[in-house]
Amino acid sequence: MNQPLQFEPIAVEPTYRKVARALIEHIVGGRLQAGDHLPPEIELARQFGVNRSTVREALRELDSAGLLGRRRGSKRMVVLRPGAGQVGAGVRRALVLHEVTFLDVWEALMILEPPLAEAAARNRSASDLECITAAADAFGAQHASASQAVHSTAEFFRCIGRATHNPVLGLAQEPLLQLLEPSLGVMIDKVPQARARIATAQRRLAEALAARAPEAAHQWMARHIRDFRKGYELAGIDLELRVTAA
């Protein structure tokens, strides 16, 4: 005899989440633009038919998500456009929860970064090139600590991402860079030749971008990412280990 079909209880969503979702729909739908002020809390409460405390909790949630904020000297919330760092942090947390490994991150970088460098070579501006060069100079600075070198390396990648002038590519690389930084911090001073090889790759990439040479940029970025894997192996980092939230 067949067992009777069982249904799961319907989850009851807090009212403040419904208010937050309604505001998100207005923002994503373009009815609320970046820079627009929201009505005061008491007016929002009246329009939604909820308590002011419910509105306040919804606004706090969207503030944490980077969708709303307050300008200095103003009590009213204004619509914001989340930066790449905020977007990347959310995706990074999701990737960690999905138990991605160092190998997963490395493979994703290998797929994404060489074509991205190729696009940057075609589309970069003079200011983009200045950003890339400044990041490379910061990495090569004498007495740079491991944390400074790692930060400069990530900034070098971010400058190349921005040089594509395709915001999708910049947002796509950000969570991977946030996962790369902790592992690179472990590796960079365990492998004697790591800094020299990174500096060489950055210099060659900067030259290819300056010359608007997409093929050379693609090749040097692929070589650069391959070097990261060699560095991990020389440092004794198991690529099958899960990446942590650090």
- pLDDT tens digits, one per residue of 143-158: 888 889 999 999 999 9
**pLDDT band with cut points at 50, 70 and 90 for residue 246:** low
Tell me, yes or no, whether 145 and 171 share the same domain: yes
Tell me, yes or no, whether 170 and 194 share the same domain: yes
206 pLDDT higher than 70? yes
Q: Is residue 1 part of a domain?
A: no
Tell me, yes or no, whether 24 and 115 share the same domain: no
Strands, E, within 71-200: which ranges?
A: 77-79
The CATH number for 36's domain is 1.10.10.10
Nearest to 234, CA basis, from 199, 197, 190: 190
pTM of structure: 0.81
pLDDT value at position 11? Answer: 76
- pLDDT tens digits, one per residue of 117-176: 999 999 999 999 999 999 999 998 878 888 899 999 999 999 999 999 999 999 999 999
Q: Specify the DSSP class assigned to residue 242.
A: B
Contact status, residue 185 vs residue 147, Cβ threshold 8 Å: yes
Which of the pair, 72 or 230, is modelled with greater confidence? 230
Query: Which residue, of 39, 56, 79, is where some domain finishes?
Result: 79
Tell me, yes or no, whether 152 and 48 share the same domain: no
Structural domain count of the chain: 2
Tell me, yes or no, whether 33 and 109 share the same domain: no
Q: Is residue 143 part of a domain?
A: yes
Enclosing domain of residue 118: 85-234
pLDDT value at position 211? Answer: 97
pLDDT value at position 71? Answer: 84
Spatial distance between the Cα atoms of 89 and 86, rounded to a whole number of angstroms: 5
Residue matched to tokens 């902790």: 182
Q: Is residue 6 part of a domain?
A: no
Q: Is residue 118 part of a domain?
A: yes
Cα 96 to its chain centre, rounded Å, is 14
Spatial distance between the Cα atoms of 52 and 64, rounded to a whole number of angstroms: 18
Query: Which residue, of 32, 59, 79, is where some domain finishes?
Result: 79
Q: Is residue 241 part of a domain?
A: no
| Averaged pLDDT for residues 95-102 | 90
Nearest to 183, CA basis, from 110, 108, 111, 238: 238
Tell me, yes or no, whether 103 and 207 share the same domain: yes
Straight-line distance from the first to the last Cα atom of the chain, in angstroms, rounded to the nearest whole number: 52
pLDDT value at position 142? Answer: 75
Residue matched to tokens 């944390």: 147
Which of the pair, 30 or 186, is modelled with greater confidence? 30
245 pLDDT higher than 70? no
181 pLDDT higher than 90? no
| Averaged pLDDT for residues 19-42 | 93
Q: Specify the DSSP class assigned to residue 101.
A: B
Spatial distance between the Cα atoms of 48 and 18, rounded to a whole number of angstroms: 10
Tell me, yes or no, whether 75 and 111 share the same domain: no
Tell me, yes or no, whether 138 and 179 share the same domain: yes
pLDDT value at position 176? Answer: 93
